[in-house]
Amino acid sequence: MEISYHGHSTVRVKTNEHTILIDPFITGNKLSDLDPETVEADFILLTHGHNDHVGDTVAIAKRTGAMVVALNELAVYLGRQGIETHPMNIGGAFEFEFGTVKFTHAFHGSSYEEEDGTFVYTGMPGGILLTIDGKTIYHVGDTGLFSDLKMIGEMNDIDLAFVPIGDNFTMGPEDALIAADWIGAERVVPVHYNTFPVIEQDPDAFAEKVRTGKGIAMKVGETIEL
């Protein structure tokens, strides 16, 4: 299985048979190396409804036929735009043909801003536990630090975690290091930084300080094997 990072919180997971995109924010993302008109996907997983995470989901799903997996209100909203969705909710798990998805708590907001400035409520934000071929990836999503991360780490043998470090809208580096300790993943990758001036951070400095696993500051487009 190949996992690649594509700026902000966008992650791509490739198995022998499926391509999975998480939070495909491409258009408007100065850090992205993907092209929304050519990127392939069989499934798209969304942590929450903010525009910088939903991103190009609808356009990609319409072009590729990808199923979108999201928390209930967000899935219903996107489904009304003519794409296939699978609604879920916090604490729930479902076994798809590529593996198992389980949504966890995240403490953040979740709404989508329409072109006319209208905000649409899109339910709870979440994190995603993705288990494929016995390996577990935890995309923490946008969140502040909360103590249940320790419980999540104790309940799951996590191989790779994507943790936000940008501060202002999510955890900053100091809180993210505590989160990494609690999650206890073998490898920890910082995300949600440097896309906008207000979330500028040093991912290498963060990665060097990860204590309970190996910190990896992935470059945009970089791939690791799991």
The reply to whether 92 falls in a domain is: yes
Phi, psi of 2 (to 5 degrees): -110, 130
Q: Percentage of residues in the chain with pLDDT exceeding 70?
A: 100
Q: Which amino acid is at 71?
A: L
Q: Which residues of 94-107 are buried (b: 16+ CB within 10 A; e: fewer)?
A: eebebbebbbbbbe
- CATH classification at residue 195: 3.60.15.10
d(CA 109, CA 28): 20
The reply to whether 102 falls in a domain is: yes
Q: What is the mean pLDDT of residues 150-173?
A: 98
The reply to whether 29 falls in a domain is: yes
Q: HSE on the CB side for 59, CA within 13 Å?
A: 12
pLDDT of residue 202: 98
Q: What is the mean pLDDT of residues 21-33?
A: 97
The reply to whether 30 falls in a domain is: yes
Location of structure tokens 């963060």: 206
pLDDT of residue 217: 98
pLDDT category of residue 15 using cuts at 50, 70 and 90: very high
pLDDT of residue 196: 96
Location of structure tokens 């319409």: 62
pLDDT of residue 214: 97
Average pLDDT over the chain reads 98
pLDDT category of residue 151 using cuts at 50, 70 and 90: very high
pLDDT of residue 87: 98
What is the pTM assigned to this prediction? 0.97
Domain residues for the domain of 45 are 2-218
Q: In Å, what is the CA distance from 202 to each residue of 33, 79, 158, 206, 221?
A: 20, 38, 24, 7, 18
Token readout for 90 is 């916090």
d(CA 186, CA 56): 31
Q: What is the mean pLDDT of residues 110-137?
A: 97
The reply to whether 150 falls in a domain is: yes
Are 83 and 58 spatial neighbours (Cβ–Cβ below 8 Å)? yes
The reply to whether 226 falls in a domain is: no
Element (H, E) at 75: helix 72-79
- The bridge status of strand 67-71 relative to strand 85-88 is parallel
pLDDT of residue 72: 98
Closest CA to 100 of 137, 142, 130: 130
The reply to whether 224 falls in a domain is: no
Number of domains in the chain: 1
d(CA 96, CA 13): 14
